[in-house]
Amino acid sequence: MESQQDRQSPAAALEDCLKLLKGERDEQRLAGLLLVTKFCKGDDLSSLQSIYNAVGVGFLDRLLRTGMGKGSISSSGSENRDAYLQLSVTVLAAFCRVPEIAASNDMVSKIPLVLEVLSNIPGSAVLDECYEFLYLVSTASEDGIMMMYSSGGMKMLASHMSVLPDGSHQMELAMKLVQLILNKLSLDIISNDYLQELAVIVAAIARQFAVLHSAVKFDALHLLSAILSSQYAAPLCDSLRVLPEKDLPNYIRDGIAAILQNRVAPTEKLQALILADSMMMIYGERWLIGQISLSELKEPIPADRCLVLVLEQSRVEVAVLLNELAQLKDEASKKSTAPAETICLKKRNVAIAFSLLEKIISLISNASENEGDPIDENTCMTVIKGLNETIGVVLEYLQDAREHGQRKGDDLLASVRLIGSYLAETPLACKENVRELLEYMLSVEGEDEQGPFYSICFLLPMLCQMTMEIEGCKALVSCGGHNAVVDCLVKLIGPHGYMVEDNDRILLACDTILNLLLKKEQLQIPLDDSVLVNLLKALAYWTEGKDDPSTIMMASSICSLLFDLTSEKALLKHPNFDDSTLDSLSCLIARSMASWGQGVSDAAKEEADLLEIVTSGYSQWANRFSRVRKAVEKQPAGPAAQQWTFIY
pLDDT confidence band for 255 (50 / 70 / 90)? very high
Please state, rounded to an integer, the average pLDDT across all residues of the chain: 86
Residue 301: the pLDDT is 75
Residue 77 phi/psi, 5° resolution? Answer: -140, 160
Average of per-residue pLDDT across 345-368: 91
Residue 338: the pLDDT is 57
The fraction of the chain above a pLDDT of 70, given in percent, is 85
Q: 528-545, pLDDT tens digit by residue?
A: 889 999 999 999 999 988
Check residues 378 and 200 and name the one with the higher pLDDT: 200
Residue 640: the pLDDT is 39
Q: 382-430, pLDDT tens digit by residue?
A: 999 999 999 999 999 999 999 989 999 999 999 999 999 999 888 777 7
Contact 326, 387 (CB under 8 A): no
Of the listed ranges 29-38, 180-189, 465-474, the one predicted with least confidence? 29-38
pLDDT confidence band for 633 (50 / 70 / 90)? confident
CA distance 584 to 556: 11
Of the listed ranges 6-10, 217-221, 376-380, the one predicted with least confidence? 6-10
Alpha helices by DSSP H, 564-642: 568-573, 579-594, 602-606, 608-621, 626-634
Average of per-residue pLDDT across 619-632: 91
Q: 269-313, pLDDT tens digit by residue?
A: 999 999 999 999 999 999 999 877 765 555 667 788 899 999 999
Minimal CA–CA distance to 643: which of 615, 620, 610, 624?
615
Average of per-residue pLDDT across 77-92: 79
Compute the 3-state secondary structure of the chain and give helix, strand, coil in percent, each to the nearest 5.
Answer: 75, 0, 25
Characterize 299-327 residue by residue with b for buried, 16 or more Cβ atoms within 10 angstroms of its Cβ, and e for exposed. eeebbbbbbbbbbebbbbbbbebbeebbe
Residue 512: the pLDDT is 96
Contact 398, 437 (CB under 8 A): yes
CA distance 605 to 317: 50
- 10: which residues sit within 8 A by CB, 6+ positions away? 39
Residue 644: the pLDDT is 46
Check residues 419 and 371 and name the one with the higher pLDDT: 419
Residue 145 has pLDDT above 90, yes or no: yes
- 149: which residues sit within 8 A by CB, 6+ positions away? 181, 184, 185
Residue 8: the pLDDT is 41
Of the listed ranges 56-65, 178-187, 248-257, the one predicted with least confidence? 56-65
Check residues 525 and 391 and name the one with the higher pLDDT: 391
Residue 122: the pLDDT is 55
Minimal CA–CA distance to 340: which of 328, 326, 323?
328
Residue 573 has pLDDT above 80, yes or no: yes
Residue 83: the pLDDT is 81
pLDDT confidence band for 206 (50 / 70 / 90)? very high
CA distance 464 to 54: 83
- Under the phi-then-psi rule, with left for phi > 0, alpha for psi from -120 to 50, and beta for the rest, what region is 165? beta
**Single pTM value for the model:** 0.86
The fraction of the chain above a pLDDT of 90, given in percent, is 60
